[in-house]
Structure 1
Amino acid sequence: MLRRSFVFSTTAFLTACAMGTGNLALAPNSTLIVVRHSDRDGEDLSAAGHARSKALVKALEGMNLDAIFSPGIKRNLDTAAPLAKARGLPSQRIPQETPTAGLVTQGAGKSVIWIGNKGNIKTIWEDLRLSDPAPLEYGDLHILRSDAGGAVTIERRRFGA
């Protein structure tokens, strides 16, 4: 079982690398949830941002979640912290400059969340050739689902005050 999982993960990674950034796509039967970090005051989350981060936990109740990803920026990690605690999952870091390939490969066949910033969310949208608007406002929550044939649907939601 472990060997099969390793082979699948390695194959998915190599396939994504070979495709190049312009040809990235969600693997079949994958879900990628994308949100911007919560409201901030300077570099840190504001009181409203901390409240919104807690609201994210409630917004995702009942949804399967296999992994939490974000860049290693404090406001992103602080946004992820209540969800990570509630789900018993670590916040895994992916470089903010080029997150799409990592999300596609590590999220293949899984349900994962990216807690990003305006710039890297725009990059994900461009790399995956998704329809606008991208989730760039505080409280935007977009759920990308790829069916068994690889067709992607986008469910747009809001969370928090």
Structure 2
Amino acid sequence: MYIGFDNNDFYGVLNCGVDVNKNIEVCTKAGSAYVALIRNQAVLQSTARKTFALTADGVMSETALDITSATTEYATTGRAWYTNGNGFSDYYLFAAQGVYGRTYSLSFMGGVAGSDTLNEPCKRVSCDNIITPSTSVKVVNGVNSLKSTLIVALILAIIVLLF
């Protein structure tokens, strides 16, 4: 699950306990329960998306050994899930996991929230969407549940931004 803003800031969380995420470099480090994906030029002095390890208690790594940096600019507002605004993106290869899926996004004033869906082993053929368990809310089924999950994510993001 992730959230992007009109200024290109990006924040996302992946669960290292999910099979499809286990080979992400940060997930192979001891104590990593989650991956935090962050693109914030003002704070990180870079337009690249950075990857941090998170413990089960939500403590984010600060040491260089626990940080992986993308080498190119991550243009949040140029991503298909962001420009789509509301609804499903086309299928694409997820860079972090190396599997095909698509993103359901929900726009709000100033940004877009997204949640990935996997269609493995379906690849690009039509089949039921499987929500990645990396979301913190269990999604039962359907688009309405995805919207509910994204609304919860937006509320959490607002709380984080306020404090």
- Structure with the higher helix share, 1 or 2: 1
Q: Same fold (TM over 0.5)?
A: no
State the structure with bigger RCO (CA 8 A, min sep 6), 1 or 2.
1
Q: TM-score, structure 1 length as denominator? A: 0.30
Q: TM-score, structure 2 length as denominator? A: 0.30
- Structure with the higher strand share, 1 or 2: 2
